[in-house]
A = this chain, B = another copy of it.
Amino acid sequence: MARDVAPLEELIEQFERLPGIGHKSAQKLAFYVLNMPEDKLKKFADTLLNSQKLIHRCSVCCDLTDREICSVCSDTKRDPSLICVVENPKDVTAIERTHEYRGTYHVLHGAISPMNGIGPDNITIKELLKRLGDKNVSEIIMATNPTVEGEATAMYISRLIKPFNIKVSRLAYGVPVGADLEYADEVTLAKAIEGRQTM
């Protein structure tokens, strides 16, 4: 391009590096930023800069928090003997939305995926085992994603937990509530039949 807007190119590139942002979107974002009120832009940049300092992992469950121990782990009304193991902080948010679960969590920050070079040491498995050592935990609920990686991770962890003689459960598979049976894939349907409950 015959133009000398190196800093503009730099700005666009920076946006293009973000996940799910193509060149056109990056351009749009760059021009938007250039027209932002200066104070708002400063606020945005500061938020980005401080995010990593302010937001870190809970020393107990590894969920993201700005305190030493997150609100769930420090909530005396939650049952610490029940640990729900999820892949990402987003999953904690999803489960909290149900207002059904009163136990605590453990965030793995990923799933074992040799294809992507993610091994057991790259996720917070040892932090989980450490918790089992200290506290008297009664049950671990495996809530990793129902994907190949999620399954493998759940299996791997459950084997590691065996020696602790702690009950390990897995989220039930089945047809999503409100969904149309004819659109459910055969694997899900088979699982739903397999795990049928007496009425």
- Seen from chain A, the residues whose Cβ lies within 8 Å of a Cβ on chain B are 1-8, 10-11, 14, 17-20, 25, 27-34, 36, 38, 41-52, 54-55, 63-67, 70-72, 75, 88-90, 92-93, 96-97
Contacts and interface: CB of A to CB of B under 8 A. Distances in A.
When all copies of this chain in the complex are counted, the total is 2
A5 B96 CA distance: 13
A88 to B, nearest CB: 7
B42 A93 contact: no
B44 A5 contact: no
Contacts of A63: 3
B44 A3 contact: no
B66 A14 contact: no
A7 B50 contact: yes
Contacts of A93: 1, 3
A64 B33 contact: no
Nearest to A32: B19
A187 to B, nearest CB: 18
Contacts of A47: 7, 10-11, 14
A194 B190 CA distance: 64
Contact of A3 (B1, B5, B14, B65): B65
Q: Which 4 A-B pairs have the closest CB atoms?
A: A4-B71, A7-B54, A45-B45, A45-B49
